[in-house]
């Protein structure tokens, strides 16, 4: 009886869906093509797990994006730093096309003729013995956590099931259960419990607290996972000397130093790795995003043999990790970064962009608290009180109207992370747009928005009760 009812329900749902499709805004059989139609379609049929700026990407080249109506925009997000090389880079597209015609997937049940070349290339480029290939960034982080636990039990002799990973308040490492178990973002954790045990938190940038945690729990700590610059938290740069101190403490307490360079790596901050700013070599490095050249998901965990060989056949893997298509694309992506000197370019352009942004800050000191960044990894932190009832999201909507695509992080921060191939003229266009938003649009927005909008308090951390993101 229950089964019959369920089938009936399914049938009804399908009939309703079909009638919505045929009697909706579009004539039957025609493909939706305008921005608004596509946004509506996504809203109807896709989970609502993002809050996008309402612009539809239809075509892209380098730093430029076009929507279906042919409007042009400049990209100041780079798909969260996955497009460091610029959209549809010709060398990367060529590698993709050539490989697509030959071989795309072997699974690692067999060997293929691309992955070994990629493995040799990436390990020699970053100076590690071995790589473990995965697909998304979160999978890379999961892999590093498993590797650290395994190393902890086998090499450090941590008692069974007692291994601890230490991570930082305000961190962002992805969306899987193990990873959100370390998150301080209530939106990421509420309603998803129980979270994974075996974690301790420490303030980012605070070496005294890190030492205390290591001293108190060092025997059971397998790894310290951190972002060298916290991205989603709002491009938070640790105090000078922090990365060196982390290295020293990890060595002293025999704890793996695990750098999540998924967003900061591959030239984004003006160095190949953000850890290079302090000439520090982590024990484990996680890469992702731009490793796939903005084309396909590719992530990688790098470590030396004494760590990596703790994982044996059958203990970890992924059907698509190390596939020949991903390997060919990743080789081309690394080559482009190296051959085009994107690290130096990012460092130079970053200085220029911050110079322009600081000028704007001087003109609008009431609204801008801080301009910060390394290379082309930058953020403008607004004064939430003066901006209110306008939010960083509203600023991004206005930037979009002026042809600049940026994304807020939290209520009062706008990230500016363009492709590293961007020209100096394009940087200037963005700075001018931000100036005009503050000068022309903001006063109108503040007048138009109802004053009674209540302030969001979701950045007060469930764990410690503090406002981690400094929204003022």
Ligand X SMILES: Cc1ncc(COP(=O)(O)O)c(C=O)c1O
Whether 111 is a known active-site residue: answer: no
User: Residue 278, Cα to own-chain centre: how many angstroms?
Assistant: 22
The answer to whether the beta carbons of residues 249 and 135 sit under 8 Å apart is no
From the list 356, 376, 172, the residue with the least C-alpha distance to 271 is 376
Query: Which residue number, 143 or 356, has a Cβ lying nearer to ligand X?
Result: 143
Length of the chain: 472
Minimum CB–partner distance for residue 138 and ligand X (Å): 3
- Give the DSSP letter of residue 278: G
Minimum CB–partner distance for residue 400 and ligand X (Å): 21
| Angle of CA points 398, 405, 271, to nearest 5° | 135
Query: Which residue number, 148 or 434, has a Cβ lying nearer to ligand X?
Result: 148
Four-CA torsion 384, 388, 389, 394, nearest 10 degrees? -50
**Cα dihedral sign, 105-110-116-117:** negative
Query: Which residue number, 329 or 368, has a Cβ lying nearer to ligand X?
Result: 329
Minimum CB–partner distance for residue 289 and ligand X (Å): 6
Query: Which residue number, 140 or 470, has a Cβ lying nearer to ligand X?
Result: 140
Q: Which of 76, 115, 118, 172 is catalytic?
A: 172
The answer to whether the beta carbons of residues 129 and 123 sit under 8 Å apart is yes
Rounded Cα distance, 328 and 314, in Å: 25
Rounded Cα distance, 83 and 339, in Å: 16
Query: Which residue number, 80 or 115, has a Cβ lying nearer to ligand X?
Result: 80
Rounded Cα distance, 287 and 285, in Å: 7
**Residue 390 CB-density burial (10 A; 0-12 exposed, 13-18 middle, 19+ buried):** buried
Minimum CB–partner distance for residue 137 and ligand X (Å): 2
Minimum CB–partner distance for residue 326 and ligand X (Å): 13
Neighbours of 73 (CB within 10 A): 20
Query: Which residue number, 238 or 431, has a Cβ lying nearer to ligand X?
Result: 238
From the list 181, 456, 88, 151, the residue with the least C-alpha distance to 303 is 151
The values of phi and psi at residue 395, to 5°, are -60, -40
Query: Which residue number, 167 or 369, has a Cβ lying nearer to ligand X?
Result: 167
Whether 382 is a known active-site residue: answer: no
Rounded Cα distance, 17 and 26, in Å: 14
Whether 260 is a known active-site residue: answer: yes
Minimum CB–partner distance for residue 331 and ligand X (Å): 19
Minimum CB–partner distance for residue 443 and ligand X (Å): 34
Q: Which of 185, 260, 283, 411 is catalytic?
A: 260
Residues that bind ligand X (CB under 6 A): 80, 136-138, 141, 172-174, 227, 231-232, 260, 262-263, 288
For the chain, report the end-to-end CA distance as a whole number of angstroms. 58
Give me the residue whose beta carbon is nearest to ligand X: 137
> Active-site residues: which are they?
172, 260, 289
């Amino acid at each position: 009886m229950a089964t019959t009812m369920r089938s009936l329900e399914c049938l009804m749902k399908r009939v309703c869906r079909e009638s919505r499709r045929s009697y909706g805004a579009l004539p039957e059989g025609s493909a939706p093509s305008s921005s608004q139609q596509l946004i509506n379609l996504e809203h109807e049929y896709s989970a609502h797990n993002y809050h996008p700026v309402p612009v539809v990407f239809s075509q892209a080249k380098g730093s430029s994006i076009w929507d279906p109506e042919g409007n042009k925009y400049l990209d100041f997000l780079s798909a969260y730093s996955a497009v460091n090389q610029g959209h549809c880079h010709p060398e990367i597209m060529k590698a993709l096309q050539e490989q697509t015609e030959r071989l795309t997937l072997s699974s690692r049940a067999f060997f293929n003729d691309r992955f070994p070349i990629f493995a040799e290339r990436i390990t020699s480029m970053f100076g590690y013995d071995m790589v473990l290939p995965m697909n998304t960034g979160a999978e890379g982080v999961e892999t590093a956590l498993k590797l650290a636990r395994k190393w902890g039990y086998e090499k450090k002799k941590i008692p069974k099931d007692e291994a601890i990973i230490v991570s930082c308040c305000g961190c962002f490492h992805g969306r899987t259960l193990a990873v959100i178990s370390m998150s301080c973002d209530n939106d990421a954790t509420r309603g998803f419990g129980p979270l994974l045990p075996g974690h301790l938190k420490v303030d980012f940038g605070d070496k005294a607290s890190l030492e205390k945690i290591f001293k108190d729990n060092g025997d059971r700590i397998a790894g310290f996972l951190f972002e060298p610059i916290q991205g989603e938290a709002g491009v938070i740069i640790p105090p000078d000397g922090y990365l060196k101190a982390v290295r020293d403490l990890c060595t002293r307490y025999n704890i793996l130093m695990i750098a999540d360079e998924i967003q900061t790596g591959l030239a984004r901050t003006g160095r190949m790795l953000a850890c290079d700013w302090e000439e520090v070599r982590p024990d484990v490095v996680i890469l992702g995003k731009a490793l796939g050249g903005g084309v396909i998901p590719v992530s990688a965990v790098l470590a030396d043999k004494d760590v990596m060989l703790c994982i044996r056949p059958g203990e970890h893997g992924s059907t698509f990790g190390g596939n020949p298509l991903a390997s060919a694309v990743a080789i081309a992506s690394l080559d482009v970064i190296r051959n085009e000197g994107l690290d130096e370019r990012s460092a130079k352009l970053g200085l220029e962009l911050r110079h322009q942004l600081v000028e704007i800050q001087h003109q609008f000191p009431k609204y801008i608290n801080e301009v910060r960044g390394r290379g082309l990894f930058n953020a403008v932190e607004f004064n939430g009180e003066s901006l209110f009832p306008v939010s960083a999201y509203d600023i991004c909507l206005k930037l979009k109207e002026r042809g600049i695509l940026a994304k807020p992080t939290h209520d009062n921060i706008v990230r500016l992370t363009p492709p590293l191939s961007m020209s100096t003229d394009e940087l200037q266009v963005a700075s001018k747009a931000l100036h005009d938003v503050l000068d022309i649009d903001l006063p109108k927005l503040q007048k138009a928005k109802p004053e009674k909008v209540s302030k969001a308090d979701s950045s007060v951390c469930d764990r410690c009760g503090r406002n981690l993101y400094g929204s003022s």
